[in-house]
Structure 1
Amino acid sequence: MTTKYTEDHEWISVDGDIATVGITHHAQDALGDVVFVDLPEVGKNLAQKDVAGVVESVKAAADVYMPVSGEVTEVNEALRNDPSLANSDPLGAGWFFKVKLSDASQLDALLDETAYAAFAA
C-alpha cells in the first residue's frame, strides 16, 4: 500500500486501483475540533483537484480536494456520524472516502511522506 500527500493537506492511500482519502494530521491540527463533514456522493466521478467535500471546525471550514481523478466508491458513514474521528484518528478511522482510480499516473505528481513533512514544516 502506497500513501501520498497533496499540498492541500489530503492523504491518499492506494491499494490496487482503489484509494482511500482523508485529511492529514497537519490539516486537522490547523482546523481544530472538527464538527461537520460533507462527503461526496457515491458513484460521482470527480477530476483531480475538484472539491470532493467540506470539513468544518469550530475555527473554519475547508474544502477537501480530489488528489486524483476517479469514481467515489464509498464514504465513511462513521465519520459523518462522528466528525471528531478526523481529529482523533485522521490517518485511520477518520478517512473520508474511497475512490476507484481513473488515472494512476496522477499519483506520481503527489508528495511522498518525506516531501510532505518538509512542505508542512
Structure 2
Amino acid sequence: MRVVDAAGAPLAGASVTLLANTYPYGREHHRETQVTDAAGEVLFSSRREWRAETLFIHGAQVFVWRLCIAKPGYATYLNLPEPGSDFNADATIALQPGATTPCPSRAENS
C-alpha cells in the first residue's frame, strides 16, 4: 500500500492501521499498525489461520478489512467497507490536508 499527499508526493511517517472485523458480529479480530517508509509505502505480511466454525441460522462469519491512516497535518483516512467487498492491498491513498484524529480504539471498532 502507498500513501501520498494531495499532489501525489509520497508521505513518509504515516501510521497505517489494518483492522480485521467479522460480521454479523462486528467483532475486531486483528489489528496491526505499520509506518510508511520514505517512498510512502507500507507492507503487511499475509496471515492465514485455520478455523472451525459452527453454522447457525444467520450463516457464517464474513471478514472485512478496514484501514485507518493518520499523519499529523492531514485528515485521517478511514475506510468502512461493506461486508463481502474486496480489499485492495495495492491501493494508493491520497491524504488531504486537515485535522488529524486518532484511529478508532478496539472498543470503538467492535
Give your verdict on TM over 0.5: no
Structure ranking higher in strand proportion: 1
Structure ranking higher in helix proportion: 1
Which structure is larger by alpha-carbon Rg, 1 or 2? 2
What TM-score, normalized by structure 1, do the two folds share?
0.28
